[in-house]
Chain A
């Protein structure tokens, strides 16, 4: 068996899966950001709420809508999500695989207090709570006559949460404005972006990249609502995503009769920046009757901030692609029945979700179908359920609202 250090030096360049650029690095994990408004009611209506914004979740869908409320409200929302992101198999780029993970989140808590022509809200939101886990393995011979096992794995946990305060003001009976200031936190735990090598001679090599860090930034959102709560209303809403600086640590380990500790290095810290896309929405809602609302909106998302660098794109032109800004189309409806004085609502909708994975070999474009229902007990206690089904994400939300 003849092996040289030079041979090892070219190891990662010689085999496609081992190239540092094609390993599933954190930035190429297809993160499922959740831009939908936080409430179950809004989610069930195709995540259309910019032009409606008439409950306690308005602070994160269009804070101008808070002026619609005339009684204080508290709300609590809980979400369960099942993610099935798709990965390209690094040992066979013609194949892909999905790995499911499930997350339970306390999604949103808020208090809204209305005044004469204004309203304030304080809230906590888990805007995105994402987990993914992927692992691939293969067997082969890097050196003739030396069978070896190769493995690549990645586990990611990403939490984006906000502590916010909103202020809304009714400029005229037909026009309201609102804004929120948020302490946003991105917490990223990427514990196993790892390449493993082990051959029958007992030589092992591991390259590991880890992120276990969080960063806080001040972000904001602003919204305008025309003819709030009217039979025809229209709204626009801008949400600033934020830039978060984290530290990634790279470390190499080796052992065995030939490798020994020759390949060990690190730990080497490196600053990396993650940017959460900004988004801008515009929508319109129609109320043919008091009990029926139809709503539609268009959301532009600055997904281009997630795009691989030009250097990465050049070096991996077969597998990576640039990410363009995306546009989502949302439509939804709600109809309310009355059983005595108890309102019972049913809702449905859908929205599009553009491709934004940065992988040439994948197309993460998908359409989300949503539905849900809700009721109000005693005129004060509101319970809503919402569900969202798409190819790579399934989620359910339950919301509780109490009006004083």
Chain B
């Protein structure tokens, strides 16, 4: 091998090592860096999306990230997600993100903490009714942060409970029940999700008693995981049921089909509604709009709920875009009105939706 070839080979090998060493960790760092850049340029919708991507890669805050040159900054995706939501007018979402950030601790040591506390006060004034100031502040975590974190955990538990009920309904379906416990993606997955849900409840109770923000945050994370697992089971079961229903009928000589049970007669939520809800509550608003494109055609109350979610997603996009896109606002209003036509009693749950959207929905008549 000549000297030149040896140098070239060594350079290539070094490049490969460098590339492989960094590719694994690059995604969440890149998302985070781009997200902070979007924050600096007041592109709130982009910032929220990029911070969600970063959180999906790594949720724990505290690592020091190099931006460029000698610019190093702490990894605080929950803080910045909260900041993006705050600037977009979603105080409930902002408070939820800041509660997570604060519970992890890293933000308390960063200069960003001043911004967090300042903006949190502004948010709390908007979303929390005024209460008399106690003579002496109680020890422990900030009561407002505690209330927000608890509210977020309860919302996650509620979502998981709803998914659990939907899964239970599918479990009783005569087409699915015979093979339910044997299919790893159904029965066993459902059991794991139930365990996570039970763990979330225990942590929430313990967090309330102490009180402990970190434990409440863990409860919320566990409930979120359980909800995602249950929604995945539900989607899988729905697909399996459709496959089985489309399969050829047994021959007449065979045993007569079982009579449907009462549980089986209650239709499970359509998968697109579940997927849309998952996207919306994961702050993937554009994706939620896409997934709920056919919400108007969903049967029964599912159609109304789908339209509420789509209205909320469009409303969030309108806020994140700096309240400039009037088409988005009109579409959100149209969705809200359409949902009422399908089900006059439908209304967004104040625990799950921001006060601003709840107010918007009320006014969209």
A and B bind:
yes
Chain A residues within CB distance 8 Å of chain B? 41, 54-55, 68-71, 116, 229, 231-232, 286-291, 336, 338, 340-341, 343, 345, 374, 376, 378-379, 382, 384, 401, 403
Residues of chain A within 8 A (CB-CB) of B66 are: 290-291, 336
Residues of chain A within 8 A (CB-CB) of B19 are: 231-232
Cβ-defined contact, A232 with B18, below 8 A: yes
Cβ-defined contact, B15 with A232, below 8 A: yes
**A341→B41 CA distance, assembly (Å):** 24
Decide yes or no whether B243 CB sits under 8 A from chain A.
no
Decide yes or no whether B349 CB sits under 8 A from chain A.
no
- Shortest CB distance A142–B (Å): 58
Cβ-defined contact, B72 with A403, below 8 A: no
**A71→B71 CA distance, assembly (Å):** 10
- Shortest CB distance B33–A (Å): 8
Cβ-defined contact, B22 with A289, below 8 A: yes
Decide yes or no whether B17 CB sits under 8 A from chain A.
yes
Cβ-defined contact, A403 with B14, below 8 A: no
- Interface range on chain B (Cβ under 8 Å from partner): 20 to 34
Residues of chain A within 8 A (CB-CB) of B109 are: 340-341
Residues of chain B within 8 A (CB-CB) of A68 are: 68-69
**A41→B22 CA distance, assembly (Å):** 24
Cβ-defined contact, B73 with A379, below 8 A: yes
- Shortest CB distance B10–A (Å): 12
- Shortest CB distance A208–B (Å): 50
Residues of chain A within 8 A (CB-CB) of B72 are: 336, 338, 341, 343, 376, 379
**A232→B14 CA distance, assembly (Å):** 10
Would you give 5 A-B contacts (Cβ < 8 Å), ordered by A? Answer: A288-B22, A343-B72, A379-B71, A384-B70, A403-B71
Residue in contact with A54 in the complex, picked from B15, B29, B69, B73, CB distance below 8 Å:
B69
Residue in contact with A116 in the complex, picked from B21, B41, B71, CB distance below 8 Å:
B41
- Shortest CB distance B53–A (Å): 16
**A305→B232 CA distance, assembly (Å):** 73
Give the most central of B17, B26, B64, B111: most A CB within 10 Å. Answer: B64
Residues of chain B within 8 A (CB-CB) of A287 are: 18, 22
Give the most central of A232, A291, A384: most B CB within 10 Å. Answer: A232
Cβ-defined contact, B69 with A55, below 8 A: yes
Residues of chain B within 8 A (CB-CB) of A343 are: 70, 72
- Shortest CB distance B343–A (Å): 44
**A244→B271 CA distance, assembly (Å):** 76
Q: Would A336 and B70 be within 8 Å (CB), given that A287-B18, A288-B17, A378-B111 are in contact?
A: yes
**A376→B111 CA distance, assembly (Å):** 14
Residues of chain B within 8 A (CB-CB) of A345 are: 70
Q: Would A54 and B68 be within 8 Å (CB), given that A231-B22, A232-B19, A288-B21 are in contact?
A: yes
Residues of chain A within 8 A (CB-CB) of B359 are: none
Residues of chain B within 8 A (CB-CB) of A378 are: 111
Residues of chain A within 8 A (CB-CB) of B64 are: 338, 341
Q: State which residues 1-34 of B face A: CB under 8 Å.
A: 14-15, 17-19, 21-22, 26, 29
**A119→B178 CA distance, assembly (Å):** 65
Residues of chain A within 8 A (CB-CB) of B36 are: 70
Cβ-defined contact, B68 with A290, below 8 A: no
Residues of chain B within 8 A (CB-CB) of A231 are: 18-19, 22, 26
Closest to B29 in A: A290
Decide yes or no whether B110 CB sits under 8 A from chain A.
yes
- New A-B pairs, 6, CB < 8 Å, besides A287-B18, A336-B72: A231-B26, A286-B15, A288-B18, A343-B70, A343-B72, A379-B72
- Shortest CB distance B206–A (Å): 32
Cβ-defined contact, B67 with A70, below 8 A: yes
Give the most central of B17, B66, B71, B72: most A CB within 10 Å. Answer: B71
Decide yes or no whether B74 CB sits under 8 A from chain A.
yes
Binary CB contact string for chain B from 54 to 92 against chain A (1 if under 8 A, 0 otherwise)? 000000000011111111111000000000000000000
**A231→B109 CA distance, assembly (Å):** 29
- Shortest CB distance B189–A (Å): 38
- Shortest CB distance A164–B (Å): 20
Decide yes or no whether B37 CB sits under 8 A from chain A.
yes
Cβ-defined contact, A341 with B40, below 8 A: no
Cβ-defined contact, B70 with A70, below 8 A: no
Residues of chain B within 8 A (CB-CB) of A401 are: 70
**A171→B65 CA distance, assembly (Å):** 25
Residue in contact with B70 in the complex, picked from A289, A340, A341, A382, CB distance below 8 Å:
A382
Closest to B19 in A: A231
**A68→B26 CA distance, assembly (Å):** 17
Closest to A58 in B: B69
Cβ-defined contact, B111 with A379, below 8 A: yes
- Shortest CB distance B36–A (Å): 8
Residues of chain B within 8 A (CB-CB) of A54 are: 68-69
Closest to A340 in B: B109
**A70→B22 CA distance, assembly (Å):** 22
Residues of chain A within 8 A (CB-CB) of B14 are: 286
Residues of chain A within 8 A (CB-CB) of B41 are: 116
Q: State which residues 317-360 of B face A: CB under 8 Å.
A: none
Residues of chain B within 8 A (CB-CB) of A379 are: 71-73, 111
**A31→B37 CA distance, assembly (Å):** 45
- Shortest CB distance A219–B (Å): 26
Cβ-defined contact, B70 with A55, below 8 A: yes
Task: Give 5 closest A-B pairs by Cβ, nearest first.
Answer: A290-B66, A54-B69, A55-B69, A231-B22, A54-B68
Residues of chain B within 8 A (CB-CB) of A229 are: 68
**A336→B22 CA distance, assembly (Å):** 17
- Shortest CB distance A80–B (Å): 23
Residues of chain B within 8 A (CB-CB) of A116 are: 41
Cβ-defined contact, A374 with B68, below 8 A: no
Residues of chain B within 8 A (CB-CB) of A374 are: 70
Residues of chain B within 8 A (CB-CB) of A69 are: 68-69
**A231→B40 CA distance, assembly (Å):** 24
Cβ-defined contact, B111 with A70, below 8 A: no
**A382→B67 CA distance, assembly (Å):** 14
**A286→B21 CA distance, assembly (Å):** 12
Residues of chain A within 8 A (CB-CB) of B69 are: 41, 54-55, 68-69
Closest to A294 in B: B14
- Shortest CB distance B136–A (Å): 33
Cβ-defined contact, B18 with A376, below 8 A: no
Residues of chain A within 8 A (CB-CB) of B74 are: 341
Residues of chain B within 8 A (CB-CB) of A41 are: 69-70
Residues of chain B within 8 A (CB-CB) of A232 are: 15, 18-19
**A70→B66 CA distance, assembly (Å):** 13
